[in-house]
Amino acid sequence: TPAKTVVGAGNHMQVGVIVWNEGNSSETFSVSVFRNGSIIGTLPVTSLPPGEETTLIFDWNTAGTPKGNYILSASATAVPGEVDLIDNAYEKWNTIQVTINGDLNGDLIVDIFDIVMIALAFGAVSNDTNWWPNADVMQEFGLIDIFDLVSVALCFGNVDPP
């Protein structure tokens, strides 16, 4: 599950991947996350007990990522003796848009609508009803706060293309 649907170029975004062991013994393997086929990162899973699951959190640093739309996918390496490989890959996430900083709704303009979106979610944490991940621009504290608001305000008036 990607944390956001829109992220400013050069910012970070978290991507969570839940993996589980369908086998009869503990398994060790690696999981990779990709954007349009280019790798974002790989994390190890060590000795996952049978029938158990764990969540891996990947940090996608969008620095150097061209603005545009991206499909995220994940894949797990096969474990020795594994024959059911069909569920080792996942490619059904929604499109993630990398846009200009401060553009929270993906309309390529940093305007009052972006400020209002932060204001409506201001003070929210991830389990609140008014939580909106795109408004957590800084992703530092899991809180939509003054740092997120200032980050967007500093970009106010920016348009893509300039």
* pLDDT by 10s per residue, the chain, length 162: 788 999 999 998 999 999 999 989 999 999 999 999 999 999 999 999 999 999 999 999 999 999 999 999 999 999 998 888 888 999 877 789 999 999 999 999 999 999 999 999 999 998 899 999 999 998 877 899 999 999 999 999 999 987
- Tell me the two tokens of residue 41: 């990162």
Euclidean distance between CA atoms 41 and 44, whole angstroms: 10
pTM comes to 0.87
* DSSP annotation of 104: S
d(C-alpha 120, C-alpha 132), whole Å: 9
Give 94: exposed, middle or buried? Use CB within 10 Å, 0-12, 13-18, 19+.
exposed
Phi and psi based region of residue 109 (left: phi greater than 0; alpha: psi -120 to 50; beta: remaining): beta
89, HSE (Cβ side, Cα atoms, 13 Å): 7
- Determine the number of helices (DSSP H) and then strands (DSSP E) in the chain: 2, 8
